[in-house]
Structure 1
């Protein structure tokens, strides 16, 4: 392995092999796992996980439970959502239950039956 340090720019480069600091491998990748599917996730170095997906359409007063693409090892801290609909004019009223490490339930209070949500969940 060849390690080069440029003291003027503070750049460090390795031509082959791997680098460890205090016994931990150093990676140039900002993530450790990635799934780019419609329901997917990215696991960042340090353990933060961001997941995304889309619920199914449900009617007024209905619910839609979704399973995350991967289980959060510790906790899901927040879920953000944005409505999607089959029609162009809709009245929405959405809420979510407390997320678990494996999924979340969305609740509809909208006036039009064909609505759902896109979501982003963040945890570790």
Structure 2
């Protein structure tokens, strides 16, 4: 039996971007993480050790968002890899990282990177 988890709209202010001003001024980012895991034992035990601790997943995302990078792909890839490494109970994973109001020559709500691994 698989259980789905959605960590929705985690908001961070960070300094990711190619342009020099992005490293100085920063920007708002939104991260969404969706994953499945076999945690049915926790239904009976009520023990966090028998599930995936979503607070620990959040802390991992927060730590990776604090490390400046040029590319969203790099940040999202680090988040994805660290979640997979740190939580082997996870079977499938999707990481979505959006930069709000990206610096383009027009109006755009966000640019988003999506990494998916559906095993």
More strand, by proportion: 1
Larger radius of gyration: 1
Does TM-score exceed 0.5, indicating one fold? no
| TM-score, scaled relative to structure 1 | 0.29
Name the structure where helix makes up a greater proportion of residues. 2
Q: Please, what TM-score do these two structures have when normalized by structure 2?
A: 0.29
